Amino acid sequence: MLRVRPIHYTSRMDQWERLLSALGMVRTVDDGDWQEFDAGSGRLALHRVAAGAHPGGDAGAGMVLDGKTDFGVEVGDLAEFARRTNAAGVEDGTTPAELVSARHGDTCRITGEDGFGFFADKAAHGAQCADADPALAVVEVWFTPDAAAAAQTLRNMGARLRPAPDDDETADFTAKNGGVLMVRPAGGTARSGLGFEYTGDLSALRDRLAAAGHSVSLTEEAFGRTLHVANPDATELPENPNGAMLWISAKPEGA
């Protein structure tokens, strides 16, 4: 199995819960400082941290953990996932998957050729919540200076490339068990991003969010319609990694 499940670190759990509920997501794990919310496709984990928290150690110097999103996926069997990913990578000379023991337990670390690393964790529960809005999908983005290599890593993991309207360096994938993974070319250090995709009526979703008290706007762009809703982290962290607004894009035609 393969499911999109980014981890978002925040000191504003209540505000995030209200937003995700308004989006049609359902909380399926409540472990206090760790909560998981299911969309119709994909899952999002929230990890409570102290306001303004920074990662520990020298590697976290200058970084803000509060408001940050980690790229991540869920799998069924860690060892089998690592074996298949590395076997697929032999043809292009890469073995990106390594079984490791992290602070949160046994996991599989994936390291891209650009140095970007993330975890594939064993899913705590496999079934997607049937009460979640079926039109909503969780999207995580891999911003990288080497888009071709990042896309190949996702293919090796078993992500399914979906048609794109433009023949450029962008690449969109779906995970077998839910969620969307995107690769976008970007300069500097590789990083992750968070968003959502919607197959239903964006105008109706805008009205639903506004009725729940969220600041939201709908824009018409060259590549489609996009909702922008106020990021719960932006109130106290104007420079938070995901920006002042979160995006919910219409699913591309034919995708």
Give a yes or no: residue 144 inside a domain: yes
77: part of which helix (H) or strand (E)? none
Give a yes or no: residue 130 inside a domain: no
Q: What is the CATH number of the domain that holds 78?
A: 3.10.180.10
Give a yes or no: residue 203 inside a domain: yes
Give a yes or no: residue 129 inside a domain: no
Sole residue written with tokens 């529960």: 125
- For the segment 167-209, what is each residue's pLDDT rounded down to a tens digit? 567 899 999 999 999 999 999 999 999 999 999 999 999 999 9
Give a yes or no: residue 102 inside a domain: yes
Question: Given this model, what pLDDT does residue 61 score?
Answer: 41
- Looking at the structure of the chain, the number of domains it has is 1
**Mean pLDDT along residues 35-61:** 80
- For the segment 200-228, what is each residue's pLDDT rounded down to a tens digit? 999 999 999 999 999 999 998 777 899 99
Range(s) of the domain holding residue 240 = 2-124+135-250
Comparing C-alpha atoms, which of 116, 183, 122 is closest to residue 154?
Answer: 183
Give a yes or no: residue 255 inside a domain: no
Q: How many CB atoms lie within 10 A of CB 221?
A: 9
Query: DSSP letter string over 85-133?
Result: HHHHHGGGT---EEEEEETTEEEEEEE-TTS-EEEEEEPS--SPPTTS-
**Cα torsion angle, 123, 94, 193, 176, sign:** negative
